[in-house]
Structure 1
Amino acid sequence: MLPWSGELAGRIERRTLVSERLRGNPLGDPHERPVLVQVPPGYADSDRRYPVVYVIQGFTGHVGMWDNRTAFRRPFPELADAVFAAGQAPPAILVYVDAWTSLGGSQYLDSPGTGDYHSYLCDEVVPWVDAEYRTLAARDHRAISGKSSGGYGAMVTAMLRPEVFGALATHAGDALFELSYQPFFPRIARTLRDEYGGSYPAFLADVRTRPFGTKDGDGELIEMYAYAAAYSAEPDGTVLLPFDDLGRIVPEVWRRWLAMDPVLMAAQEAGAEALRSMRAVWIDAGDRDEFYLDLGATAFRRAVAAAGVPDERVRFELFDAGHGAIEYRYAPAVAWLAERIAG
């Protein structure tokens, strides 16, 4: 297992998509976005058409990170390639989508606080891939997969746009917001008070003048603000926080967050109907997840069952791990999805 490179039986093409939906976005982030397309072994040697799995990342994720290598481990693109090369699953095209923002993430939603990343994915990336590659261009042959905020994106995108995606995999996806988000509110309120006079604008102005992470609290503060920009921005782009200066819930804003909780979305008729249409739903999380997303995964599994999705279409597992370094879970999920969207 070499630490600096790995050969692929297939190949990865590095492309750029010019997005009209992201042009002029509120944060001034690039509207020309990298897209990585991984074609399976044998793609160039036939006229075969393939199912597609769209792979999205967690908070602060961007497509350049798929090249990252750590000692004694292989990055996910190599793990997925090995699955297809060994014939362990029907071959599929993998599409790595970039939805990074200068706040660190978008939650794959359309928001006046960040931009139209949900529409970018569904209405621009998917048609572009179908036009550029030999895909099975129908929702029953498309899946979406992600971890953490990417797992959140997989859940909500499948529920919001079931005509686009017919299967999903969520690895420790954000869910059950009262456990995964709310416990951080008092701590963030305290940090804002002690370091920035209670002002998020003061934090944002400060953090942009220095290397990120050089002060305690940088990660939590930017992450929570990015969530607020995705879930509770006003039409003019004003970002509303779901808690006050004491960390207490602001009910009218918190309701907007809860409306986007996958567990509660699945309990609504539109979400339940979308889930019933899925050909496959993979749900997993580490049983020591630091953000209690194992509990969120369990709650979403129950919501999927309550929606009426047959057990044979669902794979659920809690495994021995925390939140990080679970990339080894992605390839088995992709293989399982590929089997169900191939035909």
Structure 2
Amino acid sequence: MFLFKLQENLNLYNFSHVEIKTLVVNSQQLIDNPLKDSVLRNIPILIPKKPPENLSVVFILSGFTGNGGKYFNQKSYEENDVQILANAIKAKKAPSALYVFVDAWTFWGGSQFINSVGCGNYEDYIMKELVPAVKELFPVSKNPNQWLVTGGSSGGYGALHLASKYPHIFGICAAIAPDCFFQMSLLPEIYSAWPQIQKLGGVKGVKKALLEGKILSRRDSHTILNAIGMGLCYAGKKNGEIDWPINNDGELHTDKWKKWLNHDPLHFLKKRKKSIKKLKHIYLDVGIYDQFHLQYGSRQIYKWLKNNGINVNYNEFKGNHFDIGDRRIYLWKWLNDNIS
């Protein structure tokens, strides 16, 4: 049995300066995970063809329903994320670093990169298996100021979570429209999805309908999947159901809702103030027309960081939640100027 190994990839793209490899992790942390998702994790890697010693490292976390491999999907008439990144590296508008496209996929679309009863120990998989594998297989720096964790939406949430908890590993954090301010971003989704989830027979009923092809064609499919996916991460129960914060009358159970809020960056960041102060940089970016109202939570995070003397680069752009992919080129330029 292997714990991790490195595989060569097909030459999908004719890059002169970088190449693609796949790091395969046989995760021991994900054994017996409640969703029975695979313990074999395939993590695409973008690395310079002639990597120097003390290579900088960038962990890229996907949004909900996304995964590391999606960045490599070929597109018609336009470049994909990896081609854009590779060109930016060549033009010296992105650091020549090791880019790790994390595989933290679950049946419901994501793990939020945390340990949870509902999904499994994805935080431990990343920190206890993936990080050590990267350090062993590649000539990377041990300096946390050369390690960035970044992502958008749920990936931005994961970046805030991991960086604020492990500043000795990730010294730089970049979050684009991170999940936050659950009162506005998540609770409305729960209220909208609740009647349909109950009608279908709870989480197990939705899963059955999903496997029968009866969910994805619905206009409210994302709302249903989002409510369940987040619920399993934040308030999952051992029986596979969720400790919902509302009842059939729409009343909010404050004691149950508090359990959800403990996972909100607006709450957990304040508890990690000492750790956050160890970070070299925080980059925060959000659209002013975000459909999930994440601009409000991002503004509150920025205000708290600034008031506590924490180094943060904050930007708002004229766009919405589904424009965040176009914002990475600005992140790469900023990172190129700020990574050690």
TM-score using structure 2 length: 0.90
Identity %: 25
* TM-aligned CA deviation for residue 341 of structure 1: 3.0
Contact 1:10 1:39 in 2 (8 A): yes
Distance 1:192 1:73, change over 3 A: same
Secondary structure of the corresponding residue to residue 322 of structure 2: coil
Distance 1:216 1:328, change over 3 A: closer
**Cα separation, 2, equivalents of 1:72 and 1:248:** 49
Pairing 1:223–2:231 present? no
* TM-aligned CA deviation for residue 107 of structure 1: 0.6
**Cα separation, 2, equivalents of 1:52 and 1:301:** 25
- 1:119-138 alignment runs, 5 A limit: 119-138=124-143
Residues 27-86 of structure 1: per-residue CA shift (max 9 Å, x gap): 11000000111113542xxx4321101000000112221123445542221222222211
**1:19 equivalent in structure 2:** 27
Contact 2:189 2:226 in 1 (8 A): no
Distance 1:99 1:322, change over 3 A: same
AA matched with 1:334: W
**Cα separation, 1, equivalents of 2:194 and 2:113:** 26
**1:293 equivalent in structure 2:** 294
- 1:54-133 alignment runs, 5 A limit: 54-133=59-138
Contact 2:44 2:69 in 1 (8 A): no
**Cα separation, 2, equivalents of 1:113 and 1:265:** 20
Secondary structure of the corresponding residue to residue 24 of structure 2: strand
**Cα separation, 1, equivalents of 2:75 and 2:302:** 32
* TM-aligned CA deviation for residue 111 of structure 1: 0.7
**Cα separation, 1, equivalents of 2:102 and 2:94:** 22
Distance 1:55 1:218, change over 3 A: same
Secondary structure of the corresponding residue to residue 333 of structure 1: helix
Distance 1:177 1:206, change over 3 A: same
Residues 83-134 of structure 1: per-residue CA shift (max 9 Å, x gap): 2211234421110001110011111110111010111111111110011111
**Cα separation, 2, equivalents of 1:91 and 1:153:** 23
- 1:124-203 alignment runs, 5 A limit: 124-193=129-198, 195-196=199-200, 199-203=202-206
Residues 180-228 of structure 1: per-residue CA shift (max 9 Å, x gap): 11122322223335x436x333222222222641234222112111111
Secondary structure of the corresponding residue to residue 258 of structure 2: helix
**Cα separation, 1, equivalents of 2:214 and 2:139:** 43
**Cα separation, 1, equivalents of 2:214 and 2:332:** 36
**2:212 equivalent in structure 1:** 209
Contact 1:25 1:114 in 2 (8 A): yes
**2:5 equivalent in structure 1:** none
* TM-aligned CA deviation for residue 238 of structure 1: 4.6
Secondary structure of the corresponding residue to residue 59 of structure 2: strand
**2:6 equivalent in structure 1:** none
- Structure 1 segments, 4+ long, off by >3 Å, are 69-73, 234-238
Distance 1:172 1:20, change over 3 A: same
Structure 2's unaligned 5+ residue stretches are: 1-11
Contact 2:35 2:118 in 1 (8 A): yes
TM-score using structure 1 length: 0.89
Which residue of 254, 259, 267 maps to 2:270? 267
Which residue of 30, 45, 58 maps to 1:37? 45
Residues 150-189 of structure 1: per-residue CA shift (max 9 Å, x gap): 0000011111222221111101110111111112232222
Decide which moves more: 105-114 or 138-147: 138-147
Distance 1:161 1:196, change over 3 A: same
**Cα separation, 1, equivalents of 2:45 and 2:18:** 11
Contact 1:40 1:84 in 2 (8 A): no
Pairing 1:276–2:280 present? no
Contact 1:112 1:236 in 2 (8 A): no
Contact 1:275 1:307 in 2 (8 A): no
How many residues get paired?
328
**Cα separation, 1, equivalents of 2:14 and 2:118:** 41
**Cα separation, 2, equivalents of 1:308 and 1:257:** 28
**Cα separation, 2, equivalents of 1:257 and 1:205:** 26
**Cα separation, 2, equivalents of 1:338 and 1:19:** 32
**1:316 equivalent in structure 2:** 314
Distance 1:234 1:338, change over 3 A: farther
Decide which moves more: 23-32 or 158-167: 158-167
Which residue of 309, 333, 336 maps to 2:334? 336
Structure 1's unaligned 5+ residue stretches are: none
**Cα separation, 2, equivalents of 1:258 and 1:330:** 28
